[in-house]
Amino acid sequence: MKRTLMLATAVAFGTFTSLASASGLPPLEQKERYKVGFSQMESNNPWRIAETKSFHDTAESCGWDLIATDAAGSAAKQVADVDSMIAQGIDVLFLPPREEKPLIPAVKKAKAAGIPTFLVDRSVDPNAAKAGEDFVAFLGSDFIDQGRRVAEWTIENFKGDKAVIVELEGTTGSSPANDRKKGFDDRILQDERFEMVASQSGDFARDLGRQVMETLLQAHPDVNVVYAHNDEMAIGAIQALELAGRKPGEDVLIVSIDGTRDALQAIIDGKMGVTVESSPFFGPLACETMKRYAAGETIEPWVQVKDRIFTPENAAKHIDEAY
Ligand code: AHR
């Protein structure tokens, strides 16, 4: 039976819970196996690779026949990947939208095709698509809080009288870049010791982070704090600083977000100050939330992930579990 017809029949005969149908969200049948789509945006860093692996690792135990794609850093390809999954008749879609706006039509198309969609790790513009209406829920971290926690740690641990900050932003138009900037800037600039002299995108990538840092160092040789929106750019910044004869950890404080193995090692080596965790291990949470939804539970619009903080005090204890 076609999905739209199944949906109409199910609603007419009350087969599914009233919650899913009352909200206008597509319902999800309880069954042994599901055809599941996971549309990854890119695989150019350890975080993304760990996230995709988490979905693969969860597939068998959750009864997923998983279709996983990689948009190779292109929002347009990610839209096309979702289109292809819809055409292949997936039951459920898990989507980390690369940027906040371009993926909105894909979310709405999945809903129109009767496919419940869960946004994982990144979200879309809340003014254009809403949890509980256009998609079931957002599963992810509080990115504003991550930025704020990095700022709090920096305020407590920066030793000098005057901090000159360079900020390396994530992908322009993405929810973590927007929110991590807001969380950090709002808090750090309340302390008059801190001045932000430059803030530029390194697209969440190590090599671009290094290149941007090289350029910004020439314009701002007095920089003594670098805030990177993810660990990959922080490591790139460390490379650029070392190449310029600077001593990360001694004359420049590097602070960041994610909790990758390389970042924890940099903290142990004294080159980085802190990384606030942003967990990529979404597979088990995606499974549990999908099953709750299929069982007729109302899913909270934001299934929030709680993050730890890695500092010189605990990095060695956690490095073996890092990715
Ligand atoms: O959306 C989460 C961010 O995206 C991670 O911090 C980053 O490493 C990834 O690419």
Q: pLDDT tens across 94-105, in order? A: 999 999 999 999
47 CA → ligand 1 middle, Å: 6
Which is the closest atom of ligand 1 to the Cα of 232?
8
Average pLDDT over the chain, rounded to an integer: 94
Condensed to tens digits (0 to 9), the pLDDT of residues 53-76 reads 999 999 999 999 999 999 999 999
Q: Which residues partner with 145 through β-bridges?
A: none
Pocket test residue of 42, 120, 121 for ligand 1, highest count of atoms within 8 A of CB: 121
69 CA → ligand 1 middle, Å: 17
19 CA → ligand 1 middle, Å: 33
pLDDT band at 23 (very low <50, low <70, confident <90, very high): confident
Which is the closest atom of ligand 1 to the Cα of 47?
8
Kindly report the three-state secondary structure assignment for every residue of the chain: CCHHHHHHHHHHHCCCCHHHHHHCCCCCCCCCCEEEEEEECCCCCHHHHHHHHHHHHHHHHHCEEEEEEECCCCHHHHHHHHHHHHHCCCCEEEECCCCCCCCHHHHHHHHHCCCCEEEECCCCCCCCCCECCCECEEEECCHHHHHHHHHHHHHHHCCCCCEEEEEEECCCCCHHHHHHHHHHHHHHCCCCCEEEEEEEECCCCHHHHHHHHHHHHHHCCCCCEEEECCHHHHHHHHHHHHHCCCCECCCEEEEEEECCHHHHHHHHCCCCCEEEECCCCCHHHHHHHHHHHHCCCCCCCEEECCCCEECCCCHHHHHHHCC
30 CA → ligand 1 middle, Å: 32
Residues with a CB atom less than 6 Å from ligand 1? 45, 47-48, 121-122, 176, 204, 230, 232, 257-258, 278
Residues 6+ apart with CB under 8 A from 283: 54, 55, 56, 57, 58, 59, 62
229 CA → ligand 1 middle, Å: 8
177 CA → ligand 1 middle, Å: 9
Domain with CATH 3.40.50.2300 in the chain: 16-140+280-306, 143-278
260 CA → ligand 1 middle, Å: 11
Q: Can you tell me the mean pLDDT for 2-11? A: 41
Which is the closest atom of ligand 1 to the Cα of 260?
8
Which is the closest atom of ligand 1 to the Cα of 204?
10
Which is the closest atom of ligand 1 to the Cα of 42?
10
The answer to whether residues 299 and 286 touch, using CB atoms and an 8 Å cutoff, is no
Supply the residue whose CA is at minimum distance from atom 6 of ligand 1.
230
Residue 229 neighbours by CB distance under 10 Å: 34
Q: Can you tell me the mean pLDDT for 241-268? A: 98
CATH architecture of 16-140+280-306: 3-Layer(aba) Sandwich (3.40)
Pocket test residue of 47, 144, 150 for ligand 1, highest count of atoms within 8 A of CB: 47
Supply the residue whose CA is at minimum distance from atom 3 of ligand 1.
176
Pocket test residue of 45, 256, 276 for ligand 1, highest count of atoms within 8 A of CB: 45
Joined together, the tokens standing for residue 281 give 């291990």
| Rounded Cα–Cα distance for residues 161 and 293 (Å) | 53
| Rounded Cα–Cα distance for residues 24 and 27 (Å) | 9
Indicate if the pLDDT at residue 6 is higher than 90: no
The answer to whether residues 78 and 98 touch, using CB atoms and an 8 Å cutoff, is yes
Closest residue by Cα to residue 220 from 199, 236, 198, 239: 198
| Rounded Cα–Cα distance for residues 195 and 227 (Å) | 12
Indicate if the pLDDT at residue 249 is higher than 90: yes
Which is the closest atom of ligand 1 to the Cα of 121?
1
> Domain spanning 143-278 has what CATH number?
3.40.50.2300
pLDDT band at 22 (very low <50, low <70, confident <90, very high): low
pLDDT for the residue numbered 12? 39
53 CA → ligand 1 middle, Å: 15
204 CA → ligand 1 middle, Å: 7
Indicate if the pLDDT at residue 285 is higher than 80: yes
pLDDT for the residue numbered 221? 97
| Rounded Cα–Cα distance for residues 87 and 252 (Å) | 51
77 CA → ligand 1 middle, Å: 18
pLDDT for the residue numbered 250? 97
The answer to whether residues 41 and 96 touch, using CB atoms and an 8 Å cutoff, is yes
Joined together, the tokens standing for residue 301 give 């619009």
pLDDT for the residue numbered 251? 97
